[in-house]
Chain A
Amino acid sequence: MEIEKDAIWVFGKLEEEKVNPLSQKALSPARFLAENLNKKLYLFLFSEEREINREILQGLFCDKVVSVFNEKFKEAGSEAISLAFEKLVKDYSPFAVIFPLTQEALSVCGKLAGKLNLGVCVHVKDFKLKNEKIIMTRPGPCEDLLVELSLETSPLLIVLSQSHFIYKPSENAQKLPEIEILHLEVSENLPIKITKRKKIKTEENPLVKARLVLGAGCGIGDRESIEKLKRLAKLLGAEIGGTRPVCYAGLLPEERMIGISGVSISPEIYIAFGISGRIQHTAGIENAKFVVAVNTDENAPILQKADLALIGDAKKIIDCMLKKLENQ
Protein backbone atom coordinates (compact mmCIF):
# COMPACT_ATOMS: atom_id res chain seq x y z
CA MET A 1 0.00 0.00 0.00
CA GLU A 2 1.25 3.44 -0.88
CA ILE A 3 0.90 5.58 2.18
CA GLU A 4 3.35 8.34 2.90
CA LYS A 5 4.56 8.60 6.45
CA ASP A 6 4.14 11.79 8.46
CA ALA A 7 0.75 12.53 6.88
CA ILE A 8 -2.44 13.95 8.38
CA TRP A 9 -5.09 11.27 8.96
CA VAL A 10 -8.77 11.60 9.59
CA PHE A 11 -10.66 8.80 11.30
CA GLY A 12 -13.85 8.00 9.46
CA LYS A 13 -16.61 5.47 9.49
CA LEU A 14 -18.64 4.14 6.62
CA GLU A 15 -22.22 3.78 7.78
CA GLU A 16 -24.97 2.46 5.55
CA GLU A 17 -22.78 3.09 2.52
CA LYS A 18 -22.25 6.70 3.49
CA VAL A 19 -19.32 8.49 5.07
CA ASN A 20 -20.28 9.54 8.58
CA PRO A 21 -21.09 13.26 8.12
CA LEU A 22 -18.96 14.23 11.11
CA SER A 23 -15.89 12.51 9.64
CA GLN A 24 -16.52 14.34 6.40
CA LYS A 25 -16.76 17.64 8.28
CA ALA A 26 -13.50 16.82 10.05
CA LEU A 27 -11.70 16.85 6.69
CA SER A 28 -12.03 20.62 6.57
CA PRO A 29 -9.74 21.59 9.48
CA ALA A 30 -7.51 18.63 8.58
CA ARG A 31 -7.12 20.13 5.12
CA PHE A 32 -5.95 23.36 6.74
CA LEU A 33 -3.15 21.48 8.51
CA ALA A 34 -2.22 19.46 5.44
CA GLU A 35 -1.97 22.51 3.18
CA ASN A 36 -0.11 24.65 5.66
CA LEU A 37 2.36 21.96 6.69
CA ASN A 38 2.64 20.59 3.18
CA LYS A 39 1.60 17.08 4.14
CA LYS A 40 -0.66 14.48 2.57
CA LEU A 41 -4.20 14.10 3.86
CA TYR A 42 -5.73 10.63 4.15
CA LEU A 43 -9.22 9.64 5.20
CA PHE A 44 -9.33 6.22 6.83
CA LEU A 45 -12.77 4.76 6.41
CA PHE A 46 -13.55 1.80 8.60
CA SER A 47 -16.19 -0.25 6.95
CA GLU A 48 -18.32 -3.21 7.82
CA GLU A 49 -18.85 -3.97 4.14
CA ARG A 50 -16.31 -5.51 1.82
CA GLU A 51 -17.23 -3.28 -1.13
CA ILE A 52 -17.29 0.45 -1.32
CA ASN A 53 -19.41 2.57 -3.61
CA ARG A 54 -17.06 4.96 -5.36
CA GLU A 55 -19.73 7.62 -5.69
CA ILE A 56 -19.26 8.50 -2.06
CA LEU A 57 -15.82 9.94 -2.85
CA GLN A 58 -17.48 13.01 -4.35
CA GLY A 59 -16.72 16.04 -2.24
CA LEU A 60 -14.13 14.37 -0.01
CA PHE A 61 -11.26 16.83 -0.12
CA CYS A 62 -8.33 14.56 0.67
CA ASP A 63 -5.47 12.96 -1.24
CA LYS A 64 -6.53 9.42 -0.61
CA VAL A 65 -9.32 7.41 0.96
CA VAL A 66 -8.20 4.21 2.61
CA SER A 67 -11.14 1.91 3.10
CA VAL A 68 -10.36 -0.62 5.80
CA PHE A 69 -12.46 -3.74 6.09
CA ASN A 70 -12.60 -6.61 8.53
CA GLU A 71 -15.49 -8.84 9.51
CA LYS A 72 -14.75 -8.22 13.16
CA PHE A 73 -15.66 -4.52 12.86
CA LYS A 74 -19.28 -5.55 12.77
CA GLU A 75 -18.90 -8.13 15.51
CA ALA A 76 -16.81 -6.19 18.00
CA GLY A 77 -17.14 -2.54 16.98
CA SER A 78 -14.57 -0.15 18.40
CA GLU A 79 -12.61 -2.99 20.06
CA ALA A 80 -11.70 -4.40 16.65
CA ILE A 81 -11.37 -1.02 14.95
CA SER A 82 -8.90 0.24 17.53
CA LEU A 83 -6.70 -2.85 17.11
CA ALA A 84 -6.64 -2.38 13.36
CA PHE A 85 -6.04 1.35 13.65
CA GLU A 86 -3.25 0.86 16.15
CA LYS A 87 -1.46 -1.40 13.68
CA LEU A 88 -1.82 1.17 10.89
CA VAL A 89 -0.58 4.00 13.10
CA LYS A 90 2.46 1.96 14.09
CA ASP A 91 3.25 0.99 10.50
CA TYR A 92 2.81 4.37 8.84
CA SER A 93 3.57 6.86 11.68
CA PRO A 94 1.23 9.72 10.80
CA PHE A 95 1.97 13.27 11.89
CA ALA A 96 -1.49 13.77 13.35
CA VAL A 97 -4.72 11.80 13.61
CA ILE A 98 -7.93 13.78 13.70
CA PHE A 99 -11.15 12.33 15.09
CA PRO A 100 -14.71 13.62 14.86
CA LEU A 101 -16.62 13.85 18.13
CA THR A 102 -18.52 10.56 18.15
CA GLN A 103 -18.67 8.00 20.90
CA GLU A 104 -16.98 5.40 18.73
CA ALA A 105 -14.19 7.77 17.71
CA LEU A 106 -13.64 8.69 21.37
CA SER A 107 -13.30 5.00 22.25
CA VAL A 108 -10.86 4.34 19.41
CA CYS A 109 -8.83 7.47 20.13
CA GLY A 110 -8.72 6.76 23.88
CA LYS A 111 -7.60 3.17 23.25
CA LEU A 112 -4.87 4.38 20.92
CA ALA A 113 -3.66 6.95 23.45
CA GLY A 114 -3.63 4.44 26.32
CA LYS A 115 -1.91 1.74 24.30
CA LEU A 116 0.79 3.92 22.73
CA ASN A 117 1.12 6.42 25.61
CA LEU A 118 0.08 9.42 23.59
CA GLY A 119 -1.43 12.69 24.70
CA VAL A 120 -4.85 13.65 23.37
CA CYS A 121 -6.54 16.98 22.95
CA VAL A 122 -10.32 16.75 23.04
CA HIS A 123 -12.96 19.27 21.97
CA VAL A 124 -10.60 21.22 19.74
CA LYS A 125 -12.36 24.09 18.03
CA ASP A 126 -9.43 25.89 16.46
CA PHE A 127 -5.78 25.42 15.40
CA LYS A 128 -2.89 27.80 15.11
CA LEU A 129 0.52 27.09 13.65
CA LYS A 130 3.53 28.50 15.39
CA ASN A 131 6.99 27.41 14.22
CA GLU A 132 5.59 24.20 12.74
CA LYS A 133 4.03 23.46 16.10
CA ILE A 134 0.30 23.06 16.36
CA ILE A 135 -1.47 25.01 19.04
CA MET A 136 -5.00 23.91 19.75
CA THR A 137 -7.83 25.84 21.33
CA ARG A 138 -10.53 24.22 23.37
CA PRO A 139 -13.08 25.35 25.97
CA GLY A 140 -11.76 25.65 29.51
CA PRO A 141 -13.27 24.45 32.76
CA CYS A 142 -15.26 27.61 33.24
CA GLU A 143 -17.84 28.79 30.85
CA ASP A 144 -16.28 31.77 29.07
CA LEU A 145 -12.70 30.54 29.05
CA LEU A 146 -10.65 29.05 26.28
CA VAL A 147 -7.47 27.07 26.76
CA GLU A 148 -4.57 26.84 24.33
CA LEU A 149 -2.70 23.58 24.40
CA SER A 150 0.07 21.76 22.65
CA LEU A 151 0.89 18.07 22.66
CA GLU A 152 4.39 16.75 23.22
CA THR A 153 3.85 13.26 21.87
CA SER A 154 3.70 12.10 18.29
CA PRO A 155 1.47 11.44 16.42
CA LEU A 156 -0.80 14.18 17.66
CA LEU A 157 -4.23 12.85 18.61
CA ILE A 158 -6.93 15.45 18.16
CA VAL A 159 -10.66 15.06 18.75
CA LEU A 160 -12.57 17.96 17.25
CA SER A 161 -15.39 19.82 18.89
CA GLN A 162 -18.69 19.61 17.05
CA SER A 163 -18.46 23.27 16.20
CA HIS A 164 -14.90 23.46 14.96
CA PHE A 165 -13.77 25.93 12.34
CA ILE A 166 -14.48 25.41 8.67
CA TYR A 167 -11.67 25.73 6.16
CA LYS A 168 -12.17 26.12 2.45
CA PRO A 169 -9.73 23.90 0.59
CA SER A 170 -7.68 25.26 -2.29
CA GLU A 171 -8.68 24.51 -5.88
CA ASN A 172 -6.21 21.68 -6.43
CA ALA A 173 -7.56 19.82 -3.43
CA GLN A 174 -10.98 19.60 -4.98
CA LYS A 175 -10.28 16.72 -7.32
CA LEU A 176 -11.51 13.22 -6.54
CA PRO A 177 -9.26 11.40 -4.11
CA GLU A 178 -7.60 8.09 -4.92
CA ILE A 179 -8.96 5.06 -3.20
CA GLU A 180 -7.20 2.16 -1.63
CA ILE A 181 -9.06 -0.83 -0.26
CA LEU A 182 -7.44 -2.68 2.55
CA HIS A 183 -8.51 -5.94 4.12
CA LEU A 184 -6.82 -5.97 7.43
CA GLU A 185 -6.37 -8.93 9.72
CA VAL A 186 -7.28 -8.58 13.36
CA SER A 187 -5.60 -11.57 14.90
CA GLU A 188 -6.58 -11.20 18.53
CA ASN A 189 -9.49 -13.12 19.95
CA LEU A 190 -11.84 -10.44 21.17
CA PRO A 191 -13.84 -10.98 24.35
CA ILE A 192 -16.73 -8.79 23.26
CA LYS A 193 -19.44 -9.39 20.74
CA ILE A 194 -22.26 -7.20 19.50
CA THR A 195 -25.18 -9.62 19.41
CA LYS A 196 -27.98 -7.31 18.33
CA ARG A 197 -28.19 -3.90 16.76
CA LYS A 198 -31.20 -1.71 16.29
CA LYS A 199 -31.38 1.73 14.75
CA ILE A 200 -32.72 4.33 17.13
CA LYS A 201 -35.63 6.08 15.51
CA THR A 202 -34.89 9.69 16.03
CA GLU A 203 -36.72 12.52 14.49
CA GLU A 204 -34.24 15.06 13.41
CA ASN A 205 -34.04 17.92 15.85
CA PRO A 206 -35.99 20.76 14.18
CA LEU A 207 -33.48 23.26 15.58
CA VAL A 208 -30.73 21.96 13.32
CA LYS A 209 -32.41 23.00 10.09
CA ALA A 210 -34.48 25.96 11.31
CA ARG A 211 -34.07 29.23 9.40
CA LEU A 212 -35.11 31.38 12.33
CA VAL A 213 -34.33 30.48 15.92
CA LEU A 214 -35.34 32.27 19.11
CA GLY A 215 -33.07 31.52 22.06
CA ALA A 216 -34.10 31.76 25.70
CA GLY A 217 -31.64 32.60 28.46
CA CYS A 218 -31.86 33.34 32.16
CA GLY A 219 -33.01 36.91 31.41
CA ILE A 220 -36.37 35.41 30.46
CA GLY A 221 -35.98 32.32 32.63
CA ASP A 222 -39.50 32.02 34.00
CA ARG A 223 -42.42 29.95 32.81
CA GLU A 224 -44.56 32.89 31.79
CA SER A 225 -41.88 34.44 29.57
CA ILE A 226 -41.09 31.10 27.95
CA GLU A 227 -44.79 30.66 27.13
CA LYS A 228 -44.79 34.11 25.53
CA LEU A 229 -41.66 33.25 23.55
CA LYS A 230 -43.41 30.13 22.28
CA ARG A 231 -46.33 32.26 21.10
CA LEU A 232 -43.91 34.59 19.35
CA ALA A 233 -42.11 31.67 17.72
CA LYS A 234 -45.39 30.41 16.36
CA LEU A 235 -46.23 33.79 14.88
CA LEU A 236 -42.81 34.05 13.25
CA GLY A 237 -42.55 30.43 12.17
CA ALA A 238 -39.42 30.09 14.28
CA GLU A 239 -37.99 27.30 16.43
CA ILE A 240 -37.09 27.76 20.08
CA GLY A 241 -33.85 26.85 21.79
CA GLY A 242 -32.31 27.65 25.13
CA THR A 243 -29.21 27.78 27.25
CA ARG A 244 -28.16 25.04 29.65
CA PRO A 245 -29.59 26.66 32.82
CA VAL A 246 -32.95 27.23 31.13
CA CYS A 247 -33.15 23.61 29.97
CA TYR A 248 -31.89 22.20 33.27
CA ALA A 249 -34.50 24.25 35.10
CA GLY A 250 -37.09 22.31 33.08
CA LEU A 251 -38.35 25.37 31.22
CA LEU A 252 -37.47 23.78 27.90
CA PRO A 253 -36.80 20.12 27.10
CA GLU A 254 -33.12 19.13 26.85
CA GLU A 255 -33.36 18.54 23.09
CA ARG A 256 -33.80 22.28 22.87
CA MET A 257 -30.42 23.03 24.41
CA ILE A 258 -28.08 24.97 22.11
CA GLY A 259 -24.34 24.78 22.65
CA ILE A 260 -21.56 22.38 23.55
CA SER A 261 -23.84 20.08 25.53
CA GLY A 262 -26.66 20.49 23.07
CA VAL A 263 -27.10 21.10 19.36
CA SER A 264 -25.32 23.39 16.93
CA ILE A 265 -27.58 25.53 14.80
CA SER A 266 -27.10 27.39 11.51
CA PRO A 267 -30.15 29.60 10.94
CA GLU A 268 -30.43 32.74 8.83
CA ILE A 269 -31.22 34.66 12.01
CA TYR A 270 -30.70 33.76 15.63
CA ILE A 271 -32.30 36.03 18.22
CA ALA A 272 -30.87 35.56 21.70
CA PHE A 273 -33.30 36.81 24.36
CA GLY A 274 -31.76 37.47 27.75
CA ILE A 275 -28.73 35.28 27.05
CA SER A 276 -25.41 36.38 28.51
CA GLY A 277 -23.50 34.33 25.96
CA ARG A 278 -21.11 32.00 27.72
CA ILE A 279 -19.02 29.87 25.39
CA GLN A 280 -20.95 26.73 26.32
CA HIS A 281 -23.85 28.33 24.51
CA THR A 282 -22.16 30.40 21.80
CA ALA A 283 -20.20 27.40 20.52
CA GLY A 284 -23.55 26.22 19.19
CA ILE A 285 -24.39 29.40 17.27
CA GLU A 286 -21.13 29.91 15.42
CA ASN A 287 -22.71 29.01 12.10
CA ALA A 288 -25.70 31.34 12.53
CA LYS A 289 -25.61 33.86 9.68
CA PHE A 290 -26.99 36.80 11.63
CA VAL A 291 -27.15 37.09 15.40
CA VAL A 292 -29.38 39.52 17.27
CA ALA A 293 -28.72 39.87 21.00
CA VAL A 294 -31.47 41.27 23.19
CA ASN A 295 -30.05 42.05 26.60
CA THR A 296 -30.10 44.68 29.31
CA ASP A 297 -26.38 44.28 29.91
CA GLU A 298 -24.21 46.20 27.49
CA ASN A 299 -21.19 44.19 28.57
CA ALA A 300 -22.67 40.73 28.15
CA PRO A 301 -20.31 38.44 26.21
CA ILE A 302 -23.09 37.65 23.71
CA LEU A 303 -22.53 41.13 22.26
CA GLN A 304 -19.20 39.90 20.91
CA LYS A 305 -21.12 37.46 18.74
CA ALA A 306 -23.93 39.80 17.77
CA ASP A 307 -24.43 41.54 14.44
CA LEU A 308 -27.14 43.57 16.08
CA ALA A 309 -27.43 44.22 19.81
CA LEU A 310 -30.64 45.62 21.25
CA ILE A 311 -29.96 46.92 24.73
CA GLY A 312 -33.21 46.64 26.60
CA ASP A 313 -35.48 44.37 28.59
CA ALA A 314 -36.04 41.17 26.61
CA LYS A 315 -39.37 40.53 28.33
CA LYS A 316 -40.73 43.94 27.33
CA ILE A 317 -39.53 43.49 23.76
CA ILE A 318 -41.25 40.11 23.54
CA ASP A 319 -44.47 41.67 24.88
CA CYS A 320 -44.21 44.45 22.37
CA MET A 321 -43.57 42.04 19.49
CA LEU A 322 -46.58 39.96 20.52
CA LYS A 323 -48.76 43.03 20.68
CA LYS A 324 -47.77 44.16 17.23
CA LEU A 325 -47.98 40.77 15.58
CA GLU A 326 -51.09 39.47 17.30
CA ASN A 327 -53.10 42.64 16.85
CA GLN A 328 -53.58 42.59 13.18
Chain B
Amino acid sequence: MAIVLCVKAVPDPEDIKFDKKEGRIVREKGTLILNPPDRHAAEIALSLKEKTGKKVIALSMGPPQAEKILKEIYSLGADELILLSDRVFAGSDALATGYILSQAIKQIKDLSFVVMGEKSIDGETGILPGILSAMLRLPLISGVREILYVSKERGLFLREQERFLEEVEVSGKAVISVKSNLEYLRPPSLKRLLKVEEVKVSVWNKEQIKADEKKVGFSGSPSKVISVFEEETLKRGEIIKEAEEKLCLKLIETLKKKGFLRGNQWK
Protein backbone atom coordinates (compact mmCIF):
# COMPACT_ATOMS: atom_id res chain seq x y z
CA MET B 1 0.00 0.00 0.00
CA ALA B 2 1.17 3.51 -0.71
CA ILE B 3 0.80 6.95 0.75
CA VAL B 4 1.16 9.67 -1.86
CA LEU B 5 2.67 12.92 -0.65
CA CYS B 6 2.12 15.85 -3.03
CA VAL B 7 4.73 18.58 -2.79
CA LYS B 8 5.44 21.70 -4.78
CA ALA B 9 8.57 23.59 -5.72
CA VAL B 10 7.87 27.30 -5.45
CA PRO B 11 10.04 30.23 -6.51
CA ASP B 12 12.03 31.72 -3.68
CA PRO B 13 9.96 34.82 -2.80
CA GLU B 14 13.19 36.82 -2.47
CA ASP B 15 14.12 36.02 -6.06
CA ILE B 16 11.12 37.39 -7.93
CA LYS B 17 11.40 40.75 -9.63
CA PHE B 18 9.00 42.59 -11.90
CA ASP B 19 10.07 43.95 -15.26
CA LYS B 20 7.95 47.10 -15.59
CA LYS B 21 8.71 47.67 -19.27
CA GLU B 22 7.82 44.15 -20.32
CA GLY B 23 5.06 43.75 -17.76
CA ARG B 24 6.25 40.34 -16.74
CA ILE B 25 7.77 38.52 -13.82
CA VAL B 26 11.48 37.81 -13.90
CA ARG B 27 13.04 35.09 -11.82
CA GLU B 28 16.65 36.14 -11.68
CA LYS B 29 18.29 33.11 -10.21
CA GLY B 30 15.44 30.71 -10.79
CA THR B 31 15.87 29.31 -7.29
CA LEU B 32 13.14 26.93 -6.24
CA ILE B 33 12.37 26.01 -2.67
CA LEU B 34 10.03 23.49 -1.07
CA ASN B 35 6.66 25.13 -0.46
CA PRO B 36 6.89 25.63 3.34
CA PRO B 37 3.43 24.17 4.22
CA ASP B 38 4.47 20.94 2.43
CA ARG B 39 7.06 20.37 5.13
CA HIS B 40 4.13 19.86 7.53
CA ALA B 41 2.40 17.55 5.06
CA ALA B 42 5.61 15.47 4.86
CA GLU B 43 5.56 15.07 8.63
CA ILE B 44 2.01 13.64 8.59
CA ALA B 45 2.76 11.38 5.58
CA LEU B 46 5.90 10.00 7.26
CA SER B 47 4.07 9.45 10.56
CA LEU B 48 1.44 7.52 8.62
CA LYS B 49 4.26 5.43 7.14
CA GLU B 50 5.58 4.64 10.62
CA LYS B 51 2.16 3.71 11.91
CA THR B 52 1.10 1.56 8.96
CA GLY B 53 4.30 0.32 7.35
CA LYS B 54 3.16 1.68 3.98
CA LYS B 55 5.63 3.34 1.65
CA VAL B 56 5.59 7.06 0.92
CA ILE B 57 5.70 8.18 -2.69
CA ALA B 58 6.57 11.86 -3.06
CA LEU B 59 4.94 13.40 -6.11
CA SER B 60 5.58 16.80 -7.59
CA MET B 61 4.67 18.61 -10.77
CA GLY B 62 7.27 21.02 -12.02
CA PRO B 63 10.31 21.72 -14.16
CA PRO B 64 13.36 19.40 -14.02
CA GLN B 65 14.96 21.62 -11.33
CA ALA B 66 12.14 20.58 -8.98
CA GLU B 67 13.98 17.25 -8.51
CA LYS B 68 15.89 19.07 -5.79
CA ILE B 69 12.87 19.40 -3.54
CA LEU B 70 11.88 15.77 -4.06
CA LYS B 71 15.34 14.80 -2.85
CA GLU B 72 14.79 17.00 0.16
CA ILE B 73 11.70 14.89 0.89
CA TYR B 74 13.76 11.74 0.37
CA SER B 75 16.17 12.86 3.08
CA LEU B 76 13.21 13.06 5.46
CA GLY B 77 12.09 9.50 4.74
CA ALA B 78 10.18 9.14 1.45
CA ASP B 79 10.62 5.85 -0.45
CA GLU B 80 9.93 6.80 -4.06
CA LEU B 81 10.18 10.08 -5.91
CA ILE B 82 8.13 11.00 -8.96
CA LEU B 83 8.39 14.22 -10.93
CA LEU B 84 5.57 15.09 -13.31
CA SER B 85 7.32 17.08 -15.96
CA ASP B 86 6.23 17.84 -19.49
CA ARG B 87 6.39 21.03 -21.50
CA VAL B 88 2.64 20.90 -22.05
CA PHE B 89 2.03 21.11 -18.29
CA ALA B 90 3.40 24.66 -18.15
CA GLY B 91 0.80 27.33 -17.43
CA SER B 92 -1.60 24.99 -15.65
CA ASP B 93 -3.97 26.68 -13.22
CA ALA B 94 -5.42 25.00 -10.13
CA LEU B 95 -7.98 22.99 -12.14
CA ALA B 96 -5.44 21.70 -14.69
CA THR B 97 -2.94 20.97 -11.89
CA GLY B 98 -5.61 18.99 -10.06
CA TYR B 99 -6.26 17.02 -13.24
CA ILE B 100 -2.55 16.25 -13.81
CA LEU B 101 -2.02 15.17 -10.20
CA SER B 102 -5.18 13.05 -10.22
CA GLN B 103 -4.12 11.31 -13.46
CA ALA B 104 -0.71 10.52 -11.95
CA ILE B 105 -2.21 9.25 -8.70
CA LYS B 106 -4.56 6.99 -10.67
CA GLN B 107 -1.47 5.20 -12.02
CA ILE B 108 -0.30 4.32 -8.52
CA LYS B 109 -1.45 0.92 -7.35
CA ASP B 110 -2.81 0.24 -3.88
CA LEU B 111 -3.30 3.83 -2.86
CA SER B 112 -4.30 4.56 0.74
CA PHE B 113 -3.89 8.25 1.53
CA VAL B 114 -3.01 11.33 -0.49
CA VAL B 115 -1.36 13.90 1.78
CA MET B 116 -0.72 17.53 0.87
CA GLY B 117 -0.04 20.94 2.42
CA GLU B 118 -2.99 23.24 3.08
CA LYS B 119 -1.80 25.85 0.58
CA SER B 120 1.08 26.96 -1.59
CA ILE B 121 2.71 30.27 -0.93
CA ASP B 122 2.93 31.31 -4.58
CA GLY B 123 -0.69 31.99 -5.33
CA GLU B 124 -3.10 29.06 -5.50
CA THR B 125 -4.24 29.59 -1.98
CA GLY B 126 -5.64 26.37 -0.65
CA ILE B 127 -8.08 25.35 -3.37
CA LEU B 128 -6.16 22.34 -4.69
CA PRO B 129 -7.00 19.76 -1.96
CA GLY B 130 -10.72 20.14 -2.73
CA ILE B 131 -10.22 19.93 -6.49
CA LEU B 132 -7.96 16.89 -6.23
CA SER B 133 -10.27 15.02 -3.86
CA ALA B 134 -13.22 15.61 -6.19
CA MET B 135 -11.28 14.41 -9.23
CA LEU B 136 -10.15 11.28 -7.39
CA ARG B 137 -13.70 10.81 -6.01
CA LEU B 138 -12.22 10.58 -2.50
CA PRO B 139 -13.31 12.30 0.71
CA LEU B 140 -11.26 15.27 1.90
CA ILE B 141 -10.11 15.81 5.46
CA SER B 142 -8.77 19.33 5.58
CA GLY B 143 -6.68 21.00 8.25
CA VAL B 144 -5.28 17.80 9.81
CA ARG B 145 -2.96 18.31 12.78
CA GLU B 146 -2.60 14.88 14.25
CA ILE B 147 -3.14 11.19 13.49
CA LEU B 148 -5.08 9.77 16.45
CA TYR B 149 -5.45 6.24 15.18
CA VAL B 150 -4.91 4.43 11.94
CA SER B 151 -5.51 0.83 10.86
CA LYS B 152 -6.02 -0.91 7.57
CA GLU B 153 -9.71 -0.11 7.45
CA ARG B 154 -10.03 3.24 9.16
CA GLY B 155 -8.27 6.32 10.34
CA LEU B 156 -9.07 8.87 13.01
CA PHE B 157 -7.64 12.34 12.60
CA LEU B 158 -7.62 15.51 14.63
CA ARG B 159 -8.24 18.51 12.46
CA GLU B 160 -8.61 22.23 12.88
CA GLN B 161 -11.44 23.84 11.01
CA GLU B 162 -12.00 27.53 11.67
CA ARG B 163 -12.96 27.85 15.33
CA PHE B 164 -13.31 24.13 15.96
CA LEU B 165 -11.13 21.15 16.68
CA GLU B 166 -12.74 18.05 15.26
CA GLU B 167 -12.07 14.35 15.36
CA VAL B 168 -12.82 12.93 11.95
CA GLU B 169 -13.13 9.26 11.22
CA VAL B 170 -12.64 7.93 7.73
CA SER B 171 -13.11 4.45 6.37
CA GLY B 172 -10.98 3.70 3.36
CA LYS B 173 -8.94 6.06 1.24
CA ALA B 174 -8.89 9.82 1.64
CA VAL B 175 -7.17 13.04 0.66
CA ILE B 176 -5.66 14.78 3.68
CA SER B 177 -4.60 18.41 3.74
CA VAL B 178 -2.32 19.31 6.60
CA LYS B 179 -2.44 22.45 8.72
CA SER B 180 0.84 24.35 8.70
CA ASN B 181 1.13 24.58 12.47
CA LEU B 182 2.55 21.22 13.54
CA GLU B 183 4.84 21.60 16.51
CA TYR B 184 7.34 18.94 15.52
CA LEU B 185 8.95 18.54 12.11
CA ARG B 186 11.52 15.77 11.85
CA PRO B 187 15.06 16.68 10.74
CA PRO B 188 16.57 14.96 7.68
CA SER B 189 18.30 11.65 8.32
CA LEU B 190 22.07 11.75 8.02
CA LYS B 191 22.16 8.33 6.40
CA ARG B 192 19.71 9.46 3.77
CA LEU B 193 21.51 12.77 3.19
CA LEU B 194 24.63 10.82 2.28
CA LYS B 195 22.72 8.81 -0.31
CA VAL B 196 20.70 11.66 -1.73
CA GLU B 197 22.88 12.17 -4.83
CA GLU B 198 22.35 8.59 -6.00
CA VAL B 199 18.61 8.50 -5.48
CA LYS B 200 16.65 8.19 -8.67
CA VAL B 201 13.72 10.44 -9.45
CA SER B 202 11.25 8.92 -11.93
CA VAL B 203 10.08 11.48 -14.45
CA TRP B 204 6.58 11.01 -15.82
CA ASN B 205 5.28 12.89 -18.86
CA LYS B 206 1.78 13.32 -20.24
CA GLU B 207 1.75 9.89 -21.93
CA GLN B 208 2.75 8.09 -18.76
CA ILE B 209 -0.12 9.59 -16.81
CA LYS B 210 -2.55 9.17 -19.75
CA ALA B 211 -3.40 12.87 -19.65
CA ASP B 212 -5.65 14.47 -22.22
CA GLU B 213 -3.59 17.30 -23.69
CA LYS B 214 -6.65 19.53 -23.90
CA LYS B 215 -7.03 19.44 -20.13
CA VAL B 216 -3.50 20.53 -19.19
CA GLY B 217 -1.35 23.65 -19.47
CA PHE B 218 -2.62 26.97 -20.81
CA SER B 219 -5.34 25.42 -22.98
CA GLY B 220 -6.68 23.33 -20.11
CA SER B 221 -6.81 26.25 -17.70
CA PRO B 222 -10.09 28.18 -17.50
CA SER B 223 -8.50 31.02 -15.55
CA LYS B 224 -6.81 33.40 -17.93
CA VAL B 225 -4.32 35.99 -16.84
CA ILE B 226 -5.16 39.32 -18.45
CA SER B 227 -2.42 41.43 -16.97
CA VAL B 228 0.15 41.62 -14.24
CA PHE B 229 0.88 45.02 -12.77
CA GLU B 230 2.34 46.77 -9.80
CA GLU B 231 -0.13 48.19 -7.37
CA GLU B 232 -1.10 51.65 -8.50
CA THR B 233 -0.67 54.79 -6.55
CA LEU B 234 -4.02 54.98 -4.89
CA LYS B 235 -3.46 57.91 -2.65
CA ARG B 236 -0.56 60.10 -1.91
CA GLY B 237 -0.96 62.13 1.22
CA GLU B 238 1.18 64.82 2.73
CA ILE B 239 4.90 64.07 2.54
CA ILE B 240 7.22 65.75 5.03
CA LYS B 241 10.97 65.58 4.83
CA GLU B 242 12.56 67.17 7.86
CA ALA B 243 14.88 66.48 10.76
CA GLU B 244 13.60 63.62 12.93
CA GLU B 245 12.95 65.96 15.83
CA LYS B 246 10.43 67.90 13.73
CA LEU B 247 8.89 64.74 12.33
CA CYS B 248 8.38 63.55 15.86
CA LEU B 249 6.51 66.74 16.74
CA LYS B 250 4.37 66.35 13.64
CA LEU B 251 3.51 62.81 14.66
CA ILE B 252 2.52 63.91 18.16
CA GLU B 253 0.46 66.73 16.71
CA THR B 254 -1.31 64.27 14.38
CA LEU B 255 -2.07 61.90 17.23
CA LYS B 256 -3.54 64.76 19.24
CA LYS B 257 -5.63 65.95 16.33
CA LYS B 258 -7.12 62.48 15.99
CA GLY B 259 -8.10 62.38 19.64
CA PHE B 260 -5.17 60.47 21.06
CA LEU B 261 -2.79 61.90 23.70
CA ARG B 262 -5.58 64.03 25.07
CA GLY B 263 -4.83 66.85 27.52
CA ASN B 264 -1.98 69.30 27.85
CA GLN B 265 0.44 67.08 29.62
CA TRP B 266 2.41 66.41 26.43
CA LYS B 267 5.26 68.66 25.65
Contact = CB atoms under 8 A, between A and B. Distances in A.
B194 interface: no
A290 B95 contact: no
Given A142-B25, A320-B248, A111 B165 contact: no
A103 B237 contact: no
Contact of A122 (B94, B229, B230, B266): B94
Interface stretch (B55-63, B80-88, B126-134): B126-134
Interface in B125-165: 125-135, 139-143, 156, 160-165
A192 B127 contact: no
A152 to B, nearest CB: 4
B142 A122 contact: no
A148 B98 CA distance: 22
A291 B245 CA distance: 20
B244 A114 contact: no
Interface string A219-249: 0000000000000000011000000000000
Interface in A107-141: 107-115, 117-123, 135, 138-141
B236 interface: yes
Interface string B223-263: 11111111111111111111111011011101100111100
A199 B164 CA distance: 5
B126 A122 contact: yes
Contact of B237 (A138, A148, A197, A309): A309
Nearest to A261: B121
Contacts of B110: none
A307 B235 contact: yes
Contacts of B258: 268-269, 290
A271 B251 contact: yes
Contact of B238 (A212, A308, A325): A308
Q: Classify chain A: how many residues form its interface, as a range.
A: 35 or more
Contact of B16 (A141, A237, A301, A308): A141
A104 B166 CA distance: 13
Interface stretch (B46-54, B65-73, B168-176, B203-211): B168-176
B266 A148 contact: no
A71 interface: no
A183 B140 CA distance: 24
Which 7 A/B pairs are nearest by Cβ-Cβ distance? A110-B130, A114-B134, A119-B222, A142-B16, A320-B248, A307-B237, A114-B131
